[in-house]
Amino acid sequence: MELVVARIGRAHGIKGEVTVEVRTDEPELRLSPGAVLKTEPAAAGPLTIETGRVHSGRLMLRFAGVKDRTGAEALRNILLIAEVDPAELPEEEDEYYDHQLMDLDVVLEDGTEIGRITEISHLPSQDLFIVERPDGSEVMIPFVEEIVAEIDLEEQRCVITPPPGLIDEREAVIASTRDEAPARDEDSGDDA
């Protein structure tokens, strides 16, 4: 099975190094020196990682055969793809590979069907499940523990506890910190 593990960013310096947008929770495993990665588009690869380092919080890679800035710039926006055994599981208990989550049925705790995960969007702040509803519409579910209560791979389902308004705008509840009745101002200065 093939997994996208990074996207190549801009060139860094003049010796062929590039920044990469990491798309794996295991960069030390997938993006280490010596790793041979397929690419998208396929004509750009395969690429072999020669060196890797972290600079100012960003991962920098240099690939075999890429020795200057021009070569590095030519790689910009190419996706790096690792070959992964489908039976392989992430090291951490509450981590999942995208292929494990795709096509899971999404339900509420009471069993109400919401839809099916059709895509996973990896954003800088969090991951999002793109869920296709039975009527063909889509809803985005943040993959955070406050909302995703359970992932059951055996039952092929994802149980969620969404806040009001996340699933259906008609369910939205407007919360107010004010009481229904107007508050009395005890310091109004009226001493009658």
41/32 Cα distance (integer angstroms): 21
pLDDT of the residue at 17: 94
Judge contact between 156 and 103, C-beta under 8 A.
yes
pLDDT at residue 82, as a whole number = 87
Over its length of 192 residues, how does the chain's per-residue pLDDT go in tens digits?
A: 787 888 999 999 899 999 998 877 778 878 889 999 999 998 888 999 999 998 888 889 999 999 999 999 999 999 999 887 766 666 667 777 777 888 999 999 998 999 999 988 877 778 889 999 999 899 999 999 899 999 988 899 999 999 888 887 544 344 444 444 444 444 545 554
Q: Which residues, listed in sequence order, are joined to residue 12 by a DSSP beta bridge? A: 17
Instruction: Return the pLDDT at 44.
Output: 87
Q: How far is residue 30's CA from residue 82's CA, in Å, rounded to a whole number?
A: 7
pTM as predicted: 0.56
